[in-house]
Amino acid sequence: MKKIVQIYLILFFGVCINLNSQSKGFRLIGTQNSYQDISFQFINNLIVIPIQVNDKKLNFILDSGVSKTIVFNSSRVDTILSNFQNKYKLKGLGKGLPVNAIISKNNLFKINNLIAVNKNVYVVLRDDFDLSSKMGITIHGVIGYDIFSDLILRINYKSKKIRFYNPSQYQQKICSKCEVLPITIFQKKPYIDLSLKLNNTSKIIPIKMLIDSGGSDAIWLFEYSNENIVTPENFFTDFLGVGLSGTVYGKRSRIFSLGLGKFLLKKPTVSFLDTLSTKEARRFNKRNGSIGTGILKRFTVWFDYPNNQLMLKKNNSFNEEFNYNMSGLEVVYDGKILVEELSRNYSSGRGETPDPNGNRKYISLIKSYEYKFKPNYRINDVLKGSPADIAGVMKDDILIKINGNPAYNFQLHEIISIFHKKENNLIRLTLMRDNKKIKIQFNLKKII
């Protein structure tokens, strides 16, 4: 039986373009600013930050695994960007052909007191990713190196805040509970040396991994990139996501441990990728895979490109169990519906008819209704043999209630997190199919 990944991600760390750009990274404006704090949305293990692009607010995924700023043409960014020039071929993960993109030059990016001028943006002409429906909000693009290159970032996954430091005024505090690890920047992407054990009897394997804040999984390993990196016997094959060059499949499993300096993570989930899907990513032949937000979110993370280092301090998520989606469902945002909500207004006064005690005061309950637009959710896929499939959930069912609560009261990432909670948790769904309501229930089930 196969399981479905919590979100089908766009992973761009295979993009290969050789251009000499005159644009610079972000700078803190104002001579007295040593840092700038911003809040972010944390959706499906991805950081979404608001950026003003030419005075228009856009939503970007913060992705340390990309070297270029990329936007999706389907989000109508062509009305915001200008100065379109040459067409390029972009190649990334997946087994398909490169995609066409055009470059937009001389754009102004702003995040509060952070400004970047003369920025180049690559607009993907064919957008088959449909990332917004899988995130529940409009996603306009991804941004990485342009933000990381000239600043020091502290990402606090618990408070959902990023602090951007001016490197010239930054002093690293002594932190006995932290681990500082050297990173290597290769083609504008950060790599780190870690270690792993496939099982409790295997030897420790040194690995070089991309630090990929734009990947929601914990670990991706390139099968046979090291003679010892082989898929364990206990695995299941799954659809991992959509890259620039098509779909990406892999074998999902677990390993015994992952070592990040003095920190040891036990039994993390991992996906093993084949050679064909990762052809572009393997051009850096020292690379063995990537660590994603499934790992990073267990720490407060300092990205320090200017000093070529990463600092980690574990948070209270460090010891949480690693889990896959245990339902077999992919739920997506499917527009909005008009919902009638009951509103109660109370008023008091004097009535003409006394109550049995001769009291003429009364309290009346006036019922009124409000109509609001709420999110609608649809079952986009059901994997064969999964708990939801066995229980009778079908593709294109509309999700009405989950565990007795109206689905429209949830954000999409909250629904997805329910499917990751705990094995044997009972899931009760009310679905709409062919204008009929159907009630279905099943228990979450762990495969590995």
Q: Please tell me whether residue 102 adopts helix, strand or coil conformation.
A: strand
Question: What pLDDT, on the 0 to 100 scale, is given for residue 176?
Answer: 92
Pick the range with the lowest mean pLDDT from 7-21, 162-176, 261-275, 326-340.
7-21
Length of the chain: 448
* pLDDT, mean of residues 217-228: 92
d(CA 425, CA 290): 31
Least confident of 61-70, 94-103, 333-342: 94-103
What is the model's pLDDT at position 282? 77
Q: What is the CA 86 to chain-centroid distance, rounded?
A: 30
pLDDT tens digit string along 101-121? 888 889 999 999 999 999 999
- The CATH number, out of the four listed (2.40.110.20, 3.90.220.20, 2.30.42.10, 1.10.3720.10), of the domain defined by the range 329-443: 2.30.42.10
Burial class (CB in 10 A: 0-12, 13-18, 19+), 114: buried
Three-state secondary structure call for residue 62: strand
Average pLDDT over residues 152-174: 94
Residue whose tokens read 């933000």? 147
List, in sequence order, every residue forming a beta bridge with 191; answer none if it has no partner.
184, 210
Q: How high is the pLDDT of residue 222? A: 93
How many C-beta neighbours within 10 Å does residue 38 have?
16
Band of residue 1 on the pLDDT scale cut at 50, 70, 90: very low
Residues 248 and 238: their CA atoms lie apart, in Å, by 9
Per residue in 288-338, pLDDT (tens digit) is 999 999 999 999 999 999 999 999 999 999 999 998 889 989 899 998 888
Q: How far is CA 436 from CA 401, 430, 432, in A?
A: 14, 10, 5
Structural domain boundaries in the chain: 9-168, 178-314, 329-443
Weakest mean pLDDT among 81-95, 186-200, 201-215, 363-377: 81-95
Rounded to whole angstroms, how far apart are CA atoms 199 and 194?
16
Tell which residue, 94, 64, 89, 101, has the closest CA to residue 279: 94
The DSSP-derived string for 2-22 is ----SS-EEE-TT--------
Segment of 21-25, 169-173, 269-273 carrying the highest mean pLDDT: 269-273
Architecture of domain 9-168: Beta Barrel (2.40)
Q: How far apart are CA 42 and CA 222, in angstroms?
A: 27
8 A C-beta contact, residue 448 and residue 252: yes
Short-list 443, 405, 411, 440, CA closest to 426: 443
Q: Spelled out in words, what is the top-level CATH class assigned to the domain 178-314?
A: mainly beta
pTM for this prediction: 0.84
- The contacts of residue 137 (CB under 8 Å, 6+ apart) are 41, 43, 48, 59, 333
> What distance in Å separates the CA atoms of residue 50 and residue 153, rounded to the nearest whole number?
16
Cα of first residue to Cα of last residue in the chain, in angstroms, is: 11
Q: How confident is the model at residue 37 (pLDDT cuts 50, 70, 90)?
A: very high
Instruction: Determine contact, residues 288/11, Cβ cutoff 8 Å.
Output: no
> Are the beta carbons of 247 and 310 closer than 8 angstroms?
no
The mean predicted confidence, pLDDT, of the chain is 85
Domains 178-314 and 329-443 share a fold: no
